[in-house]
Structure 1
């Protein structure tokens, strides 16, 4: 019997976010290419070294990236859009695809399955010559071997998942393009095998949600690859859910091992194994430590899982590993000493999860008595936090029990509400607004840091925030926007800000994870029952409204987004946590309304990403997600206009859910996805207020008025002008002032041109 420890992927960003800082220094020309590459190599090798020191036997190689692993694969296979043909160097092409350039839009970015990580969508173009442009995994494998003596486990994105995530081809072209991927994958794997790679991890997360026909199609590709590379040891890796529906076929794939998720797909995968067993000639890689959350594992539960598996499978070869890449967790908890002992003890970040894998390996190979002290410690930790006062609040339980059906709906239907709102708000046709945040300049961030460190007083900080707010209210008035925002200068992060002001949340000092590119977020930790304490946004919003005759929107983050962008307690259903957050936000919304705020935006950009991978599980999630939003927003008067915002999702799956939110206005990312949602609306109707984003805020380029007008024009072909709004794709927090002002001026001019045309045609 062979049992090995393995990791699927390690966080890229560095313990002190060195990776992020290096990227941004390179982009701003503070370091040259040689310095960039040298520093990135140091970070990359340090990550390998940490895993080696923790005792991991199969260390992932190639999971490290300069931006995104899907983009790495696209570049490697030659999926480079022709609009970037003017660039010649690898880094120029690579970052132009990721971020755009002065003259060219970036490739689309969207969510990585149901996580808060974003990947760059590969683009297929007619005439594309698919080939192995660059065997990056081979270079990194040889680097780790030569520099550290580590015979690592190359990690690559599998051909089926890669092409399923790509866009630009017609559906009837899929099979042909898939076959064209065989040759470059054969070359890639052959070269890795020839270099000595003992095992190669091929990630196919899409396998959790394939049809029978698709699985057969994928199998044929793997058979074609195996025929050409018969001796390479391939580990077919799945994650984020079970492969229950297609398990019987997947275990016949011509690979040496199969990785299954026994955290997020435990029930389904166990059912499948119970029914069909597992082949004696394959290694079973058991994803038994949660790669997406930050809680210590229940070691007793994990060991029971292995006992069950060993009884049901023929194989004697196991790999002990996380459920997915540790990309989704912070790196190390050792700096979080400010947390309460009961919470600190209950946490496990990436490095602690590696230690848990080694503990499990010891128990499996040397017996549970070899870790008896650790088992006892773990049991005590779990008991302490389960029985804590923070997780057992009677007031929260009482509020949940008291909910009635009418708490989940607005008094009047949308059409009647919107008429009342038009009278109250007096907005023009095609009103313009922004999504909420304005640039968080170096001065804003530095002043906040000084305030948090006690260098300046509360009064000085509040005066600074008021000064920034007034400056941007004046900018918005001068630009000619119709509905203004206060700019959110007091907020670091749209989830963290609210979590800091609600009971049941805690915050790490260094719990950063990658969201997209160099953008890192520090998710709050929901460890207890969530409850309202005091007003969270009233002061800043009311102050902004006092500065102008125009309407100022209140800005809140919705319950489902707060849930999905936090590390959530795992002792009660997520639905219950979401309802707790919704009840707290309901109180805040009522306070905003009673303070004279007539438009309130409750952002739900993460609603789509929380959906389960399997369509059969969607309805249950959508039901409680929509109910959470309604619970938060339904107590306001009919004249109060509720807005919401969503970005970077596959919206066609949730048009009905968006409608069910019953928001008066929804703003949706459109330009970055190259108008995809506009196409969705050609096949369905949306009869409420809607704003389709007219420019991509994630790129530094300033789009022209004509570009924006074109999107408005396309949008009005599928949207009723009476209900149409004009706005950017997303908040403007990460952009510079000199980018934001001209872009918004162009947007307002595009709106004016569109109004003129509508009046002419009326």
Structure 2
């Protein structure tokens, strides 16, 4: 007899550890402080501890817990498991040296390209597929996860990125004309091999994640994806020996592919039925009730997996009951990878705000409460339902949430588009900014030393007084200025030593936000962030960055660039309100930042960068929803800068984006300079820029800061020359592809020295016609 699907489950869980144990193990291994055996013991302890804790929280049924752990990235793991990326398996695990070389690069090789996972702030590694690639089943790592869990008393569910999503996220290798999805049949055969091995090992349920089925995939129609899903899962379901198949479809609603997937022979279908999805697709629950056969277990993800508000359990129970199914389980809408571990660790959150929140552990208990209530009624979990009722009521009544003054100011901007002046006028007004041809700059942050982090922590804890703290930060700024001047960079930044995170720092200084102590969420690898919590209307009580930028300008003769995080990025990297449209929150943040821009101008800062690295990140997965989003996101950016003088040069920065999809919006931002991530893609993004005919300046990143390797001068010269084939010389800026916060000073000094040397070499060799040895910054243009 096969195991039934659990009535309460989740589709994934944070893997960094409640105290970032994985991060510490990874970084110790990379630094050589521990060896492979110690690393293996550390992450083994973390995994088993996670399984035990999830069982304590209520996931006690067999296969209720997914084995969703990864050393670095789940897309990389699946790509290695199916041979999309050739690998050598060492015993029961991946070869760690090869694994981390793919993820991070080495002195001899570049890492895989990295980009955002659907519309989230998680980054995945992008596999490449060539015509020579031969898929091969390598399930040893999956088997080891299953075996260690079983030894510890847990029957866990192996998790793989589904074949359609894996190929949809894969890019063709250079010179490969074949679309990755055209090789789906070959890949499906390898998935057959893998599930056969799992079945032989006694595994009774396996999970395939297929978020591509809820998105519009470029070059592939919904109809094609739907047919491909039916073929693929019919093939897998027809295997003579296999585990039962659970297909999860997070981040939105299935549309054309629903009937095909539900009728393919799979055993369980996971769907995103959180409030946000129900609001965007009100008929989804009804379509599910009609389309999913009773023999298929419907796994209803009614508990939001991406945000941190306590679930409205009574409404969720009504949704579950409305499905009118016996074969029903309760789950989260997505993996809980996107939220922190537990509210219980937070001691500094306002008590009332904390009572409105549910992190990963609290969401597991909500899932269990709903699963019990489906059969036994809400009184069977009366404490959980009462908590949910209180959270909803007190949040709605709180005076913290609503500000009549902010609402009035925001309403007054209705109809404004944020237009400054014509770019030609601005270019002429900015002629006073004299900067060399192919000017060099950085994106903003410099390495965060242990001393700087300790000073921030001591100041926050009251162990360091304000004056001593300020002097410590000024000393670090002096160091950064001296380094930039020694290296010969043209546009100077202050290095942002005072900022723990480019998003959190602004949240700490804006009303309407709360921040956490331990609310860490994985961004990629060992990189973790603490997303702020946007709970109320936003305003700026005091200047935030002005003092640091003004101090920097006093210490150098070079032009200084002020640094702000833009409104869309602050939203994208925060847990946002679910009681107010995003566009209204964006306008509130934009107007608060506009006050900061005005104060920077008044302090004599002539260049201001308003970063929007997450502009593409929030782009809706469905094309039909994108125009509205791009309209309000572009408008909010322009509101930040609407009142600045034509003489003030506005920069922005974008990263990890499929820029061709939003090139019109990038142009509409109307920044004077825009920098973009381009190093890992080998300047591939510039085809889109050139085809569009972008007229302002552009700074395609030539130094990949997400890898510890130092790029050589010849490599950088090659990238600059590649950029010059697409961009007029008077437009081109030379910069890294992102901030330098996560790198060491040794790496940064060497890399930036090579960057400046490469620029100088290109200039000495003779820039193509159109550039001159010294060009006004406005003519140099926008660094996109």
What interval of TM-score do these two structures reach, taking the shorter chain for normalisation? over 0.9
1:200 aligns with 2:206: yes
* Structure 2: distance between partners of 1:84 and 1:604: 40
Return closer, same or farther for 1:730/1:373 CA change in 2, 3 Å cut-off. Answer: closer
How many Å apart are 1:244 and its aligned residue?
Answer: 2.1
Q: 2:251 aligns with which of 208, 225, 240?
A: 240
Equivalent residue number for residue 35 of structure 2: 32
Q: How does 1:121-520 map to 2 (within 5 A)?
A: 121-147=126-152, 149-169=153-173, 170=176, 172-210=178-216, 211-229=222-240, 231-263=242-274, 264-267=276-279, 271-275=283-287, 276-310=290-324, 315-403=325-413, 405-406=415-416, 408-410=418-420, 412-421=421-430, 423-520=431-528
* Structure 2: distance between partners of 1:192 and 1:760: 59
Contact 1:499–1:506 under 8 Å retained in 2: yes
Equivalent residue number for residue 116 of structure 2: 111
527-536 or 338-347, which deviates more: 338-347
Contact 1:3–1:361 under 8 Å retained in 2: no
Contact 2:248–2:271 under 8 Å retained in 1: yes
* Structure 2: distance between partners of 1:41 and 1:682: 49
- Could you give the per-residue CA deviations for residues 254-309 of structure 1, whole angstroms, max 9, x where no partner exists? 21111110014325666245354321211101001010011100011101101221
689-698 or 267-276, which deviates more: 267-276
Gaps of 5+ in 2: 217-221, 771-784
Q: Secondary structure at the match of 2:699?
A: strand
Equivalent residue number for residue 650 of structure 1: 658
* Structure 1: distance between partners of 2:163 and 2:643: 49
- Could you give the per-residue CA deviations for residues 6-42 of structure 1, whole angstroms, max 9, x where no partner exists? 1111100111111110110111111111110011100
54-63 or 30-39, which deviates more: 54-63
How many Å apart are 1:404 and its aligned residue?
Answer: 5.1
Q: Secondary structure at the match of 2:381?
A: helix
562-571 or 680-689, which deviates more: 680-689
TM-score, normalization by structure 2: 0.93
* Structure 2: distance between partners of 1:489 and 1:173: 45
Gaps of 5+ in 1: none
Contact 1:247–1:272 under 8 Å retained in 2: no
Return closer, same or farther for 1:600/1:84 CA change in 2, 3 Å cut-off. Answer: farther
Q: How does 1:730-749 map to 2 (within 5 A)?
A: 730-749=738-757
Q: Secondary structure at the match of 1:288?
A: strand
Contact 1:472–1:486 under 8 Å retained in 2: yes
179-188 or 482-491, which deviates more: 179-188
Contact 2:253–2:271 under 8 Å retained in 1: yes
Return closer, same or farther for 1:91/1:307 CA change in 2, 3 Å cut-off. Answer: same
* Structure 2: distance between partners of 1:215 and 1:758: 53
Equivalent residue number for residue 775 of structure 2: none
Q: How does 1:693-732 map to 2 (within 5 A)?
A: 693-732=701-740
Q: Secondary structure at the match of 2:124?
A: strand
Q: Secondary structure at the match of 1:730?
A: coil
* Structure 1: distance between partners of 2:586 and 2:146: 43
104-113 or 442-451, which deviates more: 442-451
Q: 1:564 aligns with which of 559, 568, 572?
A: 572
535-544 or 265-274, which deviates more: 265-274
How many Å apart are 1:400 and its aligned residue?
Answer: 1.0
- Could you give the per-residue CA deviations for residues 85-113 of structure 1, whole angstroms, max 9, x where no partner exists? 9xx97001000000000110000111000
Q: Secondary structure at the match of 2:692?
A: coil
Contact 2:11–2:66 under 8 Å retained in 1: no
How many Å apart are 1:670 and its aligned residue?
Answer: 0.3
How many Å apart are 1:599 and its aligned residue?
Answer: 0.2
Q: Secondary structure at the match of 1:346?
A: coil
* Structure 2: distance between partners of 1:128 and 1:112: 24
Return closer, same or farther for 1:709/1:612 CA change in 2, 3 Å cut-off. Answer: same
- Could you give the per-residue CA deviations for residues 369-395 of structure 1, whole angstroms, max 9, x where no partner exists? 223343233222211111211212111
* Structure 2: distance between partners of 1:305 and 1:143: 37
Q: How does 1:23-62 map to 2 (within 5 A)?
A: 23-56=26-59, 57=61, 58-62=63-67
Equivalent residue number for residue 106 of structure 2: 101
Contact 2:165–2:211 under 8 Å retained in 1: yes
Contact 1:545–1:552 under 8 Å retained in 2: yes
How many Å apart are 1:146 and its aligned residue?
Answer: 1.6
Equivalent residue number for residue 774 of structure 2: none
Contact 2:481–2:493 under 8 Å retained in 1: yes
Contact 1:51–1:59 under 8 Å retained in 2: no
Q: Secondary structure at the match of 2:691?
A: coil
Q: Secondary structure at the match of 1:715?
A: helix
How many Å apart are 1:473 and its aligned residue?
Answer: 0.6
Equivalent residue number for residue 660 of structure 1: 668
711-720 or 323-332, which deviates more: 711-720
- Could you give the per-residue CA deviations for residues 131-151 of structure 1, whole angstroms, max 9, x where no partner exists? 01343222211221122x212
742-751 or 752-761, which deviates more: 752-761
Contact 2:729–2:767 under 8 Å retained in 1: no
Q: 1:625 aligns with which of 626, 633, 658?
A: 633
331-340 or 542-551, which deviates more: 331-340
- Could you give the per-residue CA deviations for residues 606-660 of structure 1, whole angstroms, max 9, x where no partner exists? 1111111111111111111101101111110001000000111211111111001
TM-score, normalization by structure 1: 0.96
Contact 1:552–1:599 under 8 Å retained in 2: yes
* Structure 2: distance between partners of 1:198 and 1:83: 27
Q: Secondary structure at the match of 1:551?
A: coil
* Structure 1: distance between partners of 2:362 and 2:731: 51
How many Å apart are 1:477 and its aligned residue?
Answer: 1.0
Return closer, same or farther for 1:694/1:483 CA change in 2, 3 Å cut-off. Answer: same
Equivalent residue number for residue 82 of structure 2: 77
* Structure 1: distance between partners of 2:768 and 2:326: 77
Contact 2:226–2:257 under 8 Å retained in 1: yes
How many Å apart are 1:676 and its aligned residue?
Answer: 2.2
Return closer, same or farther for 1:634/1:84 CA change in 2, 3 Å cut-off. Answer: farther
How many Å apart are 1:585 and its aligned residue?
Answer: 0.2
